[in-house]
Amino acid sequence: MYDYLTTRYRKFSKMIVANPIMLVKDGKILDEAMLKARISREEFESYLRLSGTDDISDIKSSYLEINGQVSFIKKTKD
């Protein structure tokens, strides 16, 4: 029923389905976004390590996705 309503009625979908929350921009953690996402620095650092990265400056951006997972986009090497 939920899936039907969100696909059928756009306004309902906008009220219920959250947008991804940007947590990191250009290697800098966005503290306000971390509070909004209710993710502690320790938890975020754990996600970072699990992604295979230990240096936040290597990250171009990071998002808390609508499915609850944290995604990372690494900076490209020139």
* This prediction's pTM: 0.74
Whose CA is closest to 59, among 48, 73, 46, 70?
73
Q: What pLDDT score does 67 carry?
A: 84
In a domain? residue 24: yes
In a domain? residue 22: yes
In a domain? residue 9: no
Which CATH number fits the domain that encloses residue 61? 3.30.240.20
- What pLDDT, in 10s, does the model give residues 24-55? 999 999 999 999 999 999 999 999 999 998 89
Into how many domains does the chain fold?
1
In a domain? residue 60: yes
DSSP class of residue 60 equals E
Token pair for 67: 């499915």
Q: What pLDDT score does 76 carry?
A: 84
In a domain? residue 1: no
Phi, psi torsion values for 9, nearest 5 degrees = -120, 105
**Within 13 Å, how many C-alpha atoms sit on residue 10's CB side?**
0
Structure confidence at residue 19 as a pLDDT band (50, 70, 90): confident
**Would you say residue 5 has pLDDT above 60?**
no
Cβ–Cβ < 8 Å for 20, 64: yes
Find the domain containing 50 and state its range: 18-74
